[in-house]
A = this chain, B = another copy of it.
Amino acid sequence: MSDQEKQTEEKIFESATEVFVEKGMDGARMQDIADHAGINKALLHYYYRTKDKLFDAVFEKIAEKMFRKFAPVLDANYTLEEKIRFFFREHISFLQRNSRLPSFFLNEINRNPERIRKLIRKADIDQLWHTLEAQHRDEFRKYNITPEMIPQIMTSIAAMSVFPFAARGIIETVFEKMGVKFDDYLEQRKEFAAEFVIRALKK
């Protein structure tokens, strides 16, 4: 693959990512992506034969990037509380830099659930879970965390981090009326979310 080709392909991929994330699969236009990349539509179809294939490539890359942020949580050298603090700090920081991703991602998955099946099969999510459980068995007992509570806790942690971005449109507008700056709120949230969850877990 020549440098020129790689450059063009990369330019296309970046442009496609931008347009898809902003407009969604249905709202995105191939012409828009081509314009954005400074090429014409035929060349776009030359590199990625169809809109679907291009979208799939973009979507998979984004998913991979998002899930990668979860990996360090599996490091056995941290306590549960340290992991929670680490997760919120890192995950919210990542989303600050990619603030439209959650809304885009969640929506496209709900619109076509088949998409996530492939990704989850590849990421071995349940495996990941068993690792975590083994690492913190003692702590779970200390906190009185039973297996039935796991799904509740997992989704609560994800919710605390992702929701402000998924609902950014509403939240930002309400904050405006209350005189609160969304950016300040996010900075504050890294710590707040962690302590909130840790307190909730304690008896």
A:104-141 near B, CB below 8 Å: 106-107, 109-111, 113, 116-117, 120, 125-126, 129
**Count of residues in A whose CB is under 8 Å from the partner chain:** 54
Contact B107 A151, beta carbon cutoff 8 Å: no
CB within 8 Å of B: which of A167-191? 167-175, 177-178, 180, 185, 188-189
- Please report the C-alpha to C-alpha distance between residue A168 and residue B151 in the assembled complex, in whole angstroms: 13
A89 to chain B, nearest CB (A): 15
Tell which of A2-10, A73-81, A153-161 binds the partner.
A153-161
Say yes or no: B200 contacts A196, CB within 8 Å: yes
- Give the residues from 24 to 71 in chain A that come closer than 8 angstroms, CB to CB, to chain B: 24, 26-27
Bound-state CA distance A98–B141 (Å) is: 37
Q: With A and B bound together, what is the CA distance between A164 and B158 in angstroms? A: 9
Contact of B100 with A185 in the complex, beta carbons under 8 Å: no
A86 in the interface, Cβ–Cβ < 8 Å?
no
Question: Do A159 and B164 contact each other (CB < 8 Å), given the known contacts A120-B174, A177-B120?
Answer: yes
Known: A24-B107, A126-B177, A129-B178. 10 other contacts (CB 8 A): A106-B107, A109-B170, A113-B172, A126-B178, A151-B185, A152-B192, A155-B167, A156-B193, A156-B196, A196-B200
| Residue positions of A touching B, CB distance < 8 A | 23-24, 26-27, 100, 103, 106-107, 109-111, 113, 116-117, 120, 125-126, 129, 148-149, 151-152, 155-156, 158-160, 162-164, 166-175, 177-178, 180, 185, 188-189, 192-193, 196-197, 199-202
